[in-house]
């Protein structure tokens, strides 16, 4: 055989293998479904009543460098079954984007803004439009956003414009996963899965998400001293159809969402501000119904909350804090309870209970165990912490 023909044949063979492999990845991708309700009779405590809203945090529209209009984003979000999206167009703030917020196609289209600061990108949420633009100095911007009634989240701290760390200047949280980063951090892998993005975006994206090791380390380091909230961020600029199905943010409200847009906006931003939400790789499995709360001195504290056993009614004599994790899922999973990042308890059943009087930041990660489309080390669900002790400002 001539060498030229051999090379051609080898290339064709490789291509055939690649296409077969890709096809198999697409066909074999299995999104779990079929939630069963937790068996209430085995539960020691009834889960606190909450109203759960599902949405996607961090994306861009045509008001900055996104490829879709607010209306198009709302339509795609409605198709994906979302209750809300948080658009974060670049600016300080992006006033066009803010003015375009509203209820569109039945979806709450909320607007924050992503500020390019001296330390990196800072997402500002829930503020009233300021008279003057926000500072480009991160620590000042955080204070100004807070003064305008809002709060801030450090975006993609270890990629793109990596965050240059200084004091924890009143930020409310940081991004743990960011799908934009995923593609840039693993360009070869992204290229390999690129054709699948067009056919089965959920399969491609689930395979592309890498373990958030540095992000969770930073979360646990800063979070050991104060409540710090972790976000899974879409950061969609294009490919909204796939990206709006990848990471979901589940907020927990104490009442159903208000008809009035301004009131509903306050509810969702209020839950985000207080950390009453959890994040999930929704493309892998439907995560609705996850619950995590604490009971102490007859009081219930939801995720994001702080308990100071020293000053609570009853004081330390009020006994240990009882942490309950409810994972009523019909598929193999493992819930891990972490204190300042180290596992203190785990379980594979629908409920995990842990009692403690040790101060610290307690958060939950849930992993899928069998037939999981996720790579090793990727939490399917990440809760926000319940903070026990005195928080440093």
Q: How far is the CB of 383 from Zn ion (least distance, A)?
A: 24
Q: Which of 121, 200, 226, 276 binds Zn ion (CB under 5 A)?
A: 121
68 binds Zn ion (CB under 5 A): no
Q: How far is the CB of 71 from Zn ion (least distance, A)?
A: 20
Cβ-proximal residue to Zn ion, closest one: 121
Q: How far is the CB of 235 from Zn ion (least distance, A)?
A: 4
Q: Which stretch binds Zn ion (CB under 5 A): 13-21, 114-122, 207-215, 330-338?
A: 114-122
Number of amino acids touching Zn ion (CB under 5 A): 4
| Between 114 and 286, CB nearer to Zn ion | 114
Is residue 145 helix, strand or coil? helix
Q: How far is the CB of 186 from Zn ion (least distance, A)?
A: 18
Write the DSSP assignment of 263-281 as a string of letters: HHHHHHHHHHHTT-EEEEE
| Between 114 and 202, CB nearer to Zn ion | 114
Give the DSSP letter of residue 50.
Answer: -
Euclidean distance between CA atoms 381 and 335, whole angstroms:
9
Euclidean distance between CA atoms 70 and 141, whole angstroms:
26
Euclidean distance between CA atoms 58 and 91, whole angstroms:
14
| HSE toward the beta carbon, residue 267, CA cutoff 13 A | 23
Euclidean distance between CA atoms 273 and 9, whole angstroms:
59
235 binds Zn ion (CB under 5 A): yes
23-42: which residues touch Zn ion (CB under 5 A)?
A: none
| Between 121 and 326, CB nearer to Zn ion | 121
Q: How far is the CB of 121 from Zn ion (least distance, A)?
A: 4
x-or-dash pattern for Zn ion, window 281-320, by CB under 5 A?
A: ----------------------------------------
- Across the chain, how many H-helices and E-strands are there? 10, 20
Q: Which stretch binds Zn ion (CB under 5 A): 5-13, 148-156, 289-297, 377-385?
A: 148-156
| Between 155 and 224, CB nearer to Zn ion | 155
Could you tell me the CA-to-CA distances from 167 to 138, 142, 156, 340 in Å, in that order? Answer: 11, 12, 17, 19
Task: Decide: residue 143, CB within 10 A, 0-12 exposed, 13-18 middle, 19+ buried.
Answer: middle
Euclidean distance between CA atoms 271 and 229, whole angstroms:
11
351 binds Zn ion (CB under 5 A): no
**374: closest CA among 292, 289, 287?**
287
Strand partners, 270: none
| Between 144 and 178, CB nearer to Zn ion | 178
Q: Which of 155, 243, 325, 378 binds Zn ion (CB under 5 A)?
A: 155
| Between 114 and 282, CB nearer to Zn ion | 114
Is residue 99 helix, strand or coil? helix
Q: How far is the CB of 321 from Zn ion (least distance, A)?
A: 37
Q: How far is the CB of 125 from Zn ion (least distance, A)?
A: 13
DSSP E strands, 91-204: 102-104, 107-116, 121-125, 151-154, 173-178
| Between 61 and 356, CB nearer to Zn ion | 61
Q: Which residues bind Zn ion (CB under 5 A)?
A: 114, 121, 155, 235
């Amino acid at each position: 055989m001539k060498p030229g023909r051999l090379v051609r044949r080898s290339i064709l063979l490789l291509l055939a293998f690649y296409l077969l492999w890709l096809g198999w990845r697409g066909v074999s991708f299995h999104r779990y479904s079929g939630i069963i309700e937790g068996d209430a009779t085995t539960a020691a405590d009834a889960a606190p009543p909450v109203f759960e809203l599902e949405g996607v945090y961090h994306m861009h529209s045509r008001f900055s460098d996104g490829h879709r209009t607010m209306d198009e984003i709302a339509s795609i979000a409605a198709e994906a079954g979302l209750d809300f999206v948080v658009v974060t167009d670049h600016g300080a703030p992006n006033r066009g984007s803010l003015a375009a917020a509203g209820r569109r196609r039945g979806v709450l289209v909320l607007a924050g803004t992503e500020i390019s600061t001296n330390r990196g990108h800072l997402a500002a949420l829930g503020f009233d439009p300021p008279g003057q633009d926000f500072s480009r100095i991160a620590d000042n911007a955080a204070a100004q956003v807070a003064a305008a009634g809002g709060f801030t989240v450090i975006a993609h701290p270890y990629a793109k414009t990596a965050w240059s760390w200084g004091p924890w200047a009143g930020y409310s949280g940081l991004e743990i996963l960011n799908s934009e980063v995923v593609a840039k951090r693993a360009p070869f892998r992204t290229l390999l899965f690129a054709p699948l993005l067009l056919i089965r975006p959920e399969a491609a994206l689930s395979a592309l998400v890498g373990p958030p090791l540095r992000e969770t380390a930073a979360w646990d380091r800063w979070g050991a001293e104060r409540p710090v909230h972790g976000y899974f961020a879409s950061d969609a600029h294009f490919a909204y159809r796939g990206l709006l199905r990848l990471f979901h943010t589940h907020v927990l409200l104490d009442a159903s969402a208000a008809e009035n847009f301004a009131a509903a906006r306050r509810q969702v931003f209020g839950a985000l501000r207080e950390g009453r939400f959890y994040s999930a790789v929704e493309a892998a499995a439907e995560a609705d119904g996850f619950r995590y709360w604490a009971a102490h001195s007859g009081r219930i504290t939801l995720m994001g909350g702080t308990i100071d056993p020293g000053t609570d009614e009853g004081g330390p004599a009020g006994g240990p804090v009882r942490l309950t994790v409810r994972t009523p899922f019909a598929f193999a999973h493992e819930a891990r309870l972490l204190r300042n990042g180290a596992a203190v308890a785990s379980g594979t059943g629908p409920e995990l209970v842990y009692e403690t009087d040790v101060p610290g930041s307690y958060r939950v990660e849930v992993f899928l165990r069998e037939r999981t489309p996720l790579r090793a080390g990727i939490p399917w669900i990440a809760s926000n912490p319940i903070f026990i002790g005195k928080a440093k400002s």
